[in-house]
Chains A and B, each alone.
Chain A
Amino acid sequence: DAMVIQNPRYQVTQFGKPVTLSCSQTLNHNVMYWYQQKSSQAPKLLFHYYDKDFNNEADTPDNFQSRRPNTSFCFLDIRSPGLGDAAMYLCATSNGPRDRSYEQYFGPGTRLTVT
């Protein structure tokens, strides 16, 4: 089945220790998104890629970086995690306006704990 996969599902890291979260998709979608979601809050868009074109939200901290080496994979790097970065990180894909399909397909998420 075509899908969005995130690894790991649960990640524990220490305060200040860099961590990388990964996302892969078999949908061949051109747009990939990274969201941060804290409990009982709306998902907050961190970045998105339209093909190789990187788009950073204005309020995304510099501590967060992203890479998209190819269509299928996207990574979220947190350079120096703080306690406030503990959250669920959601990866999503869409075909964007290319075929007027705007639905975003989400991976299962990675729950990050910072100790």
Chain B
Amino acid sequence: GQNIDQPTEMTATEGAIVQINCTYQTSGFNGLFWYQQHAGEAPTFLSYNVLDGLEEKGRFSSFLSRSKGYSYLLLKELQMKDSASYLCACMDSNYQLIWGAGTKLIIKP
């Protein structure tokens, strides 16, 4: 079956670094997305990885290892506004997104 696993909740301190992990099993693979979702709002796109390696975009970086079925989202210099849920989603062989349930990130001062 198809499955996306990510931690339910994480807590970090303002100014620190946090890594949110995601493991996946899908029928076919056409890339992995990370989305940010603030409470009561729609998801917004953060990153897309289809090749192995690290993609850096400002304070956010995303890593993919296809052989391990593993990705992580790295957030640096955490700000209070980064408190949100972070959703990992894989695109399967039909180009449909298989979503994880999201990791709720709590930032403390």
Give chain A's interface residues, CB within 8 Å of chain B: 40-45, 48, 88, 90, 96-97, 102-109, 111
Interface size on B, as a range, is 20 to 34
Cross-chain pairs A/B with CB under 8 angstroms, 5 sampled = A102-B48, A102-B91, A103-B48, A106-B42, A109-B41
6 further A-B pairs in the complex, CB-CB below 8 A; given A45-B96, A104-B45, A104-B97: A42-B101, A48-B96, A102-B95, A103-B33, A103-B48, A108-B42
Most buried by A among B4, B40, B42, B48: B42
Residues of B within 8 A of A90 (CB): 42-43
Q: Mark B12-50, 1 if CB is under 8 A from A, else 0.
A: 000000000000000000110100000011111100100
Give chain B's interface residues, CB within 8 Å of chain A: 4, 30-31, 33, 40-45, 48, 85, 87, 91, 95-97, 99-102, 104
B91 and A43 contacting across the interface, CB-CB below 8 Å: no
**Chain A residue nearest in CB terms to B33:** A103
